[in-house]
Amino acid sequence: MTEAKGLTVRIEQEQPIPLDIDLAARPGEILAIVGPSGSGKSTTLRAIAGLDKPQSGHIVCNGATWLDTATGIDLAARQRRVGLVFQSYALFPHLTTLENVLEALQDRPAESRRDEALALLARIRLEGLEDRLPRQLSGGQQQRVAVARALARRPDVLLLDEPFSAVDRVTRQRLQHELAELRHDLPMPVLLVTHDLDEAARLADRICVIHRGRSLQTASPEAVMTRPVSPLVARLVNLRNVFSGSVAGHRADAGVTSLEWQGRTIEAALSDEFKPGEPVTWCIPADSIIVHRRDRPSQGERENPLSGIVREAVRLGETTALVVVVGDDDREPFHLAIPTHVARRNGIEVGAEIGFSIRTEAVHLMPPDPDGAEQSATD
């Protein structure tokens, strides 16, 4: 599936870190590679940049084959047009801001290099800092120099390795904002490696979830976070409300699939790829659980009405996190987050009974949770 434009990556290896990666990114798209520490995110990025050679793989960028182990093609990093922003930024410490950028412009005519470097620095808001050494710059400024240097290469793919992890929260938000602005001018695919799911969801067009060296799902942030392909992905994206049940039946006319869960019936959007009687895992995003108000009925109250006892109520600033047990089985509680003032006004505290609905549309079905997935996803 070689695309003329963009990047396609297929990597397989056993050693030193097992990898089984399959991903593609279109020009101008930000693809976030998300996974826990040690899942192989950075290794994937290094293989694309040509810094590590996978045992077997195929990498094509903008129609050029960078790696094809079958035919022995393996371009060195300096031959691949990649812009890589290292987690440490890896600025040349003895060179000024301008000189750092100039190093990446060596393939341009000598007379235009300086102007080009200055234009890049201006574009990334570093005017006036051209003669500073990296140690004389703040963390945020260093990150910008690293981005300018990566772009100076006129890369066919821009690779960002946890680019926001080394700065404070305020700077991080500002830099993320700048990337979101800058991306509209970037013609190449951008791969953003991060362990921060919120960051990925904010910045990326699509997310590729990696776990233990395997790419599990590549889809829009919304799809990954509400319709994970497996219980493992659900847990990796921190979906808390994941339950085991079985398919009771389908009503195609109403567009509904009924589930049997702990002796109750839960209605989901029609998912007739699962057969009646088949065990399934189902999940519901926390924001699709509607807590009933005591004084008057809420919108959507008829959809899957449930009631339970609040086991935990933890106030986290303006939000209160609730753990609610439905029925006698407390192995599969619901996790809800409601505004603290709502909790207070409705007297929602530990021991209280509350009613809530779960939106039929948002109930998502997956194949059953294989043994151990729960543990392996979070360790």
# binding residues, other proteins (CB under 8 A) = 28
Quick one: CA torsion of 335, 338, 343, 344, rounded to 10 degrees? 140
Side chain identity, residue 240: R
Is residue 167 within 8 Å of 197, Cβ to Cβ?
Answer: no
- Single residue of 75, 90, 321, 325 touching other proteins by CB under 8 A: 90
Sole residue written with tokens 């066919």: 156
Q: DSSP characters for 174-230?
A: HHHHHHHHHGGG--S-EEEEES-HHHHHHH-SEEEEEETTEEEEEE-HHHHHHS-SS
Cβ closest to other proteins, residue 124 vs residue 225? 124
Q: Which one of 149-157, 303-311, 319-327, 335-343 is the stretch in contact with other proteins (CB under 8 A)?
A: 149-157
Q: Is the peptide bond before 339 cis (omega within 30 degrees of 0)?
A: no
- Single residue of 63, 92, 131, 341 touching other proteins by CB under 8 A: 92
Neighbours of 294 (CB within 10 A): 11
- Single residue of 10, 58, 153, 250 touching other proteins by CB under 8 A: 153
- For residue 289, the minimal CB distance to other proteins (Å) is 45
Q: Is 331 in the site for other proteins (CB under 8 A)?
A: no
Q: Is 32 in the site for other proteins (CB under 8 A)?
A: no
- Single residue of 54, 57, 83, 231 touching other proteins by CB under 8 A: 83
Burial of 182 (0-12, 13-18, 19+ CB in 10 A): middle
Q: Is 49 in the site for other proteins (CB under 8 A)?
A: yes
Q: Is 104 in the site for other proteins (CB under 8 A)?
A: yes
Is residue 156 within 8 Å of 3, Cβ to Cβ?
Answer: no
- Single residue of 72, 93, 263, 351 touching other proteins by CB under 8 A: 93
- Single residue of 17, 75, 129, 133 touching other proteins by CB under 8 A: 133
Q: Which one of 63-71, 83-91, 179-187, 264-272 is the stretch in contact with other proteins (CB under 8 A)?
A: 83-91
How does DSSP classify residue 294? S
- For residue 101, the minimal CB distance to other proteins (Å) is 9
Is residue 217 within 8 Å of 367, Cβ to Cβ?
Answer: no
Burial of 289 (0-12, 13-18, 19+ CB in 10 A): buried
- Single residue of 1, 4, 78, 331 touching other proteins by CB under 8 A: 78
Q: Would you tell me which residues interact with other proteins (CB under 8 A)? A: 49-51, 76-78, 81-84, 86, 88, 90-95, 103-104, 106-107, 133, 135, 149-150, 152-153
